[in-house]
Structure 1
Amino acid sequence: MASPSLLVGQPLLAPLLPVLAQTYDVIALWDAPGPERLATVDALIWAGEFPLDRTLMDAMPRLALIACFTVGYDGVDLALAHSRGIAVTHAGDANAEDVADHAIGLMIAHRRWIVEGDRHLRAGHWTIQAKTRTHSMASARLGIVGMGSIGIAVAQRAQAMKMQIAWWGPRAKPQLPWPRTQDLGALARDSDILVIAARADESNRRMISAPILDLLGPEGLLVNVARGQLVDEAALIDALKAGRLGGAAIDVFDPEPTDPTHWSNVPNVVLTPHIGGATHEAVGRMAQMLLANLAAHFGGTPLPSPVRD
């Protein structure tokens, strides 16, 4: 009996090929397989932040599973997939703890002047006469947008740091110990730090708009570890340059990779290249979840981490 056929979508997933090839017939999309080869594909391995083109799905009539290696799956048209009877899986909460660590690190790096302090010292600007004062983390008002696995992990860490925590999301979660605000604007207005940890889709594109940034204000800090598309990047840069927003610490951009010149004259910002969940440990968990989803799909057992909506 022939092995199931897998199509691997992005070159960044190339390290998976030797592992997958032990069990499956593996095809790399970047090798430009022809129509006949695509017609044999049973499952697609995809990095969920990349848009999955409908024409590619049309070229795979046997496709029955889209297995996102990543936690995010915003590049997949779920309605289209499910209308065709195609199951979609993802990596669950495999990197939630690591992304939360990164969010806290970005907060501290900006609020306690760690990155700028490093530059200040290296430039020879440190003198005995002048010492920069920063703000404490304890008692700071932290607003979290999106209270899934990452948001909860951020809140747990922030609670240990004695921060004041509130959150907002589209659905109430009475089981959580932290208060949910009435809307996003109220959360921004009442926060010193606003962390974006929400799932991205077309309904919330650029929800962190100029009015929300103005509510966060000239003393506020925006931290984004979710998706770049959730923030109106042009409005963010304008607010930082005008001093209407106190600062930003950003790990995700729209598009990616971001153009570095885009940020060259932007003050009060700490930037990292989408590395929040990119730990060796998290990637290992993601690989194990991918293999488990594939084994369950082809074995006819329940999927460990299906995407249902």
Structure 2
Amino acid sequence: MDTQTHLLQIGPLPPGLEQLLQTQYRLHPLWKEADRAGFLAEHAGQFAGGVTMSRHGCSADIFASLKGGVVACFGVGYDGIDLNAAAQYDVQVSTTPNVLNDCVADCAFGLILATARQLVAADRHVQAGRWASQAFPLASRVSGKRLGIVGLGRIGAAIARRSSGFDMDVRYYGRHPQAEVAYGYEPDLHALARWADFLVVACRGGADTRHLISGSVLEALGPQGFLVNIARGSVIDEDALVEAIAKNRIAGAGLDVYAQEPQVPPGLLNNDRVVALPHIAASTRETRAAMEQLVADNLHSFFTTGRIITPPG
């Protein structure tokens, strides 16, 4: 690969990915430019492509400055990437699907167990030395319960498969039923929430799903129901969730993602009924290495064959 191929680095990257790409390309850190618009205008057409992360996205002005080429995204989410602008300026976009499915699904089930069985609160109880003088309260069983999945894509399907080990009944909500799966399809999200003991959000982000989990959906989930989100923070109306937690309208929540990361609504902190993770569902050494390699593979494929390997979707 031509080591002089120039790529725009749209935001900070994981150190391993940045080191890997620097062996093959010349990266320019766009986020360090004080006058981003001026830089893009001055250097329009000089970069063969770009590299970003789901959290950074990629806006129309960047695609316009590339006018052909490729943008490789580290991450499966692409709601922050302007795909219409990518098509307009003939820029191919890649993401890193599949390689993170298992770890994200593992984390979803970890949150199911942690919220229902109050594992984090129980640990605090022991660590604080309270066990000797105060019994820990009863929690909720997971095995045999009803699991509702919002979005039965690759990750949602991996979550559903794991539920078989817990003898759970599974139903899912999505844009349309999937003929090839045996799980029950529920076309009404509120009905799914009323039915479910655990409502797991695994759909894509973006305008179409913004605040899909509304106050009325949380009301339908009810005081015995648990919410788990490993998708995108924007899918949940966080104000409604804070209110539902404060007023005991749901049993608890396990969250890995938030609307304004790394900011977490104060009403979701310091509450034993909320397990809050710092967006780590895919953060294992094995998955990180596979995602980094897939970014590199997509770029290599584009520059050698003219086509990326894993487009969004």
TM-score, structure 2 as length reference: 0.91
Using the alignment, how far apart are the partners of 1:300 and 1:85 within structure 2? 16
How many angstroms does 1:62 deviate by?
A: 3.6
Residue 217 of structure 1 corresponds to: 222
Residue 204 of structure 1 corresponds to: 209
How many angstroms does 1:64 deviate by?
A: 1.8
How many angstroms does 1:2 deviate by?
A: 7.6
Mapping 1:245-260, distance limit 5 Å: 245-259=250-264
How many angstroms does 1:131 deviate by?
A: 4.8
* Unaligned residue ranges in structure 1 (runs of 5+): none
The one-letter code of the counterpart of 1:30 is: W
How many angstroms does 1:53 deviate by?
A: 2.8
Residue 178 of structure 2 corresponds to: 173
Residues 216 and 245, structure 1, Cα contact 8 Å, conserved in 2: yes
Counterpart of 1:67 in 2: which secondary structure?
Answer: strand
Structure 2 CA distance for partners of 1:51 and 1:89, relative to 1, 3 Å = closer
How many angstroms does 1:267 deviate by?
A: 5.4
How many angstroms does 1:128 deviate by?
A: 7.4
How many angstroms does 1:213 deviate by?
A: 0.2
Residue 23 of structure 2 corresponds to: 22
How many angstroms does 1:84 deviate by?
A: 2.0
Using the alignment, how far apart are the partners of 2:52 and 2:153 within structure 1? 22
Residue 83 of structure 1 corresponds to: 88
Identity %: 34
Deviates more, 1:83-92 or 1:256-265: 256-265
Computed over aligned residues only, the root mean square deviation of the Cα atoms, in angstroms, reads 2.0
How many angstroms does 1:298 deviate by?
A: 0.9
How many angstroms does 1:123 deviate by?
A: 3.1
Counterpart of 1:283 in 2: which secondary structure?
Answer: helix
Residue 112 of structure 1 corresponds to: 117
Q: C-alpha deviations, 1:122-146, integer Å up to 9, x for none?
A: 3333357745222221111000001
Using the alignment, how far apart are the partners of 1:153 and 1:221 within structure 2? 19
From 57, 75, 78, give the equivalent of 2:63. Answer: 57
Structure 2 CA distance for partners of 1:79 and 1:62, relative to 1, 3 Å = closer
The one-letter code of the counterpart of 2:25 is: Y
Residues 112 and 136, structure 1, Cα contact 8 Å, conserved in 2: yes
Q: C-alpha deviations, 1:217-266, integer Å up to 9, x for none?
A: 00100000000000000000001101111110100001000246443455
Deviates more, 1:168-177 or 1:219-228: 168-177
Residues 209 and 232, structure 1, Cα contact 8 Å, conserved in 2: yes
Mapping 1:273-292, distance limit 5 Å: 273-292=278-297
Residues 40 and 62, structure 1, Cα contact 8 Å, conserved in 2: no
Using the alignment, how far apart are the partners of 1:259 and 1:204 within structure 2? 20
From 36, 43, 52, give the equivalent of 2:49. Answer: 43
Using the alignment, how far apart are the partners of 1:5 and 1:288 within structure 2? 19
Residue 193 of structure 1 corresponds to: 198
Residue 263 of structure 1 corresponds to: 268
Counterpart of 1:46 in 2: which secondary structure?
Answer: strand
How many angstroms does 1:37 deviate by?
A: 4.0
Using the alignment, how far apart are the partners of 1:259 and 1:247 within structure 2? 16
TM-score, structure 1 as length reference: 0.92
Q: C-alpha deviations, 1:50-86, integer Å up to 9, x for none?
A: 342323333x244421211111111101122112221
How many angstroms does 1:307 deviate by?
A: 2.2
Confirm whether residue 12 of structure 1 aligns to residue 13 of structure 2: yes
Q: C-alpha deviations, 1:100-141, integer Å up to 9, x for none?
A: 000100110111111111122233333577452222211110
Using the alignment, how far apart are the partners of 1:129 and 1:178 within structure 2? 42
Deviates more, 1:69-78 or 1:295-304: 295-304
